[in-house]
Copies of this chain bind each other. A is one copy, B any other.
């Protein structure tokens, strides 16, 4: 795979044109958003609407981004020049676009309906993969309905109403985002009546203590989600299983394998030699294992059994089918809509513009929906692990920083933590996400507006506040005291996108998931990087192993600390000395 060349956005003529355009936005007051937003003909062009079933809409209004119609044309040209359409098509048709690991990237296939007519690519292979995907989807539905209906009971005969998802690192973030987003949706909440879902993800034993602390093992089904059962995932699986088995053994004369058969399932890559595999070694029976494939990437795994099994247990297979349909709807939009109407493409191009040309290094994800409070953390995972790269696909070092620091919080909770800095400190391009309907409307007598309107007043107001700002002259005219005016000036000219959707339910949660997955992919395609590997995690893992070996040796045999620099040795010695003092575990 060496020796090839990939065209990067920095290598095409449009790059220089865009750089010049970006420079103009820095000094030309005519290009201040205050002026741009008052130009109605410009604004009318900077919007896109995606309609889907049930008259639901996604409206993207990007008129408060620091772009004009011409900037957008240059960005579309840039995409054409680097061969965006070919890259997107290679992704769609299952080419091995993850070249460093020689794998195809197929998470869009996870949400294709049964018998989907796949155009282009290697049909036979695609049909076979889709069939396998649906085999597992069916298995997930059958198993989760058995548990939900009480056909599959816990070992003491109680229904398994609690799902404990055990994983390590980041795979819980997407599942948790979806689970929280659906928890206040009326239909999904009804389906989840009496059930609950919990996550154990940190190797810190405090997580095990806190997460299992309130659970009843007799009612708990553990779902271990782990592609490869590495050390952290295995540790968490063993911690959770130890808690479960010890507690259940006290309730009756059961063997470990009897308990595991009823109370432990796993989602894993499994090979032919099952008994020697990690889940096999943990004693989990083959029938309780749900397959994911080597091509499933942790951060893009929510639509595989990794997400579907726990979420179907909580919300039912039929709710999760709506979720998958929503994600598929966004896939179809992404692969088929022209660039100018294509919401993930527009968001991705604006991401590249803000990051590579305008020089903004972070990005706010601001859902005006409390139910999306776990969404920013999931976007962090998807975007930062995908696009925080040093080199292009061909191994050549990038001429720009790729990836942005994504951060956010829901609704009005974000105001105090972020908005002082976003209005008067650093420029942070932001995505405002809002909904026309509330999952749980509330209209208190005596209030001017229903609570959802109160919330949404902020969704509509903040982007304009960021764009327009407030001048010294405004403050003078308002009669603000002399010494205070400078402190109350808002420079404005701070870019944002507004995404207004009809309602938040299983279908639209699926759309949102896929929308932000594809936004990240678009940026990767433009930059010419591999958004689907993650070699940046390896070095830390390797060095942690050295420390672990040292700690084990020092704890057991009092071995002296060696092989580290002075600082690390000193810290390790302080750590070990304290352990000796207090006769640690």
Contacts and interface: CB of A to CB of B under 8 A. Distances in A.
A384 B544 CA distance: 32
A441 B61 contact: no
Nearest to A359: B361
A194 to B, nearest CB: 12
Given A370-B210, A384-B420, A460-B547, A413 B535 contact: no
Interface in A160-192: 168-171, 173, 183-184
A169 to B, nearest CB: 4
A389 B425 contact: yes
A401 interface: yes
Nearest to A214: B196
Interface string A20-62: 0000000000000000011010011011000000000101010
A420 B536 contact: yes
Contacts of A239: 442, 444, 451
A125 interface: no
Interface stretch (A9-17, A267-275, A403-411): A403-411
A335 to B, nearest CB: 26
A428 B406 CA distance: 12
A473 interface: no
Interface stretch (A147-155, A508-516, A565-573): A565-573
A502 B581 CA distance: 12
Given A369-B206, A452-B205, A461 B385 contact: no
B447 A238 contact: yes
A483 B426 contact: no
Contacts of A572: 460
Contacts of A298: 416
Contacts of A415: 169-170, 537, 540
Contact of A61 (B205, B238, B401, B567): B567
B578 A437 contact: yes
Interface stretch (A111-119, A134-142, A302-310, A487-495): A487-495
Interface residues of A, number: 163
Interface stretch (A287-295, A311-319, A341-349, A462-470): A462-470
Given A205-B451, A370-B207, A538-B488, A401 B425 contact: yes
Contacts of A448: 548-549, 552
A403 B456 CA distance: 28
Interface string A526-549: 000010011111111011111111
A377 interface: yes
Interface in A223-281: 231-232, 235, 238-239, 242
A455 B204 contact: yes
A443 B238 CA distance: 11
Interface in A483-507: 483-491, 498, 500, 502
Contacts of A397: 486
A461 B37 contact: no
A575 B461 contact: no
A334 interface: no
A167 B177 CA distance: 24
Contacts of A490: 536, 539
A444 B566 contact: no
A85 interface: no
A544 B441 contact: no
Given A403-B421, A461-B547, A184 B210 contact: yes
A322 interface: no
B436 A170 contact: no
Q: Which 10 A-B pairs have the closest CB atoms?
A: A388-B421, A388-B425, A170-B416, A395-B486, A2-B483, A205-B442, A461-B543, A420-B536, A424-B536, A461-B544
22 contacts: A2-B482, A61-B567, A169-B413, A183-B210, A204-B369, A204-B411, A204-B451, A206-B439, A231-B454, A232-B412, A238-B444, A361-B426, A381-B416, A391-B487, A448-B549, A449-B555, A453-B551, A457-B551, A461-B545, A461-B546, A461-B547, A500-B575
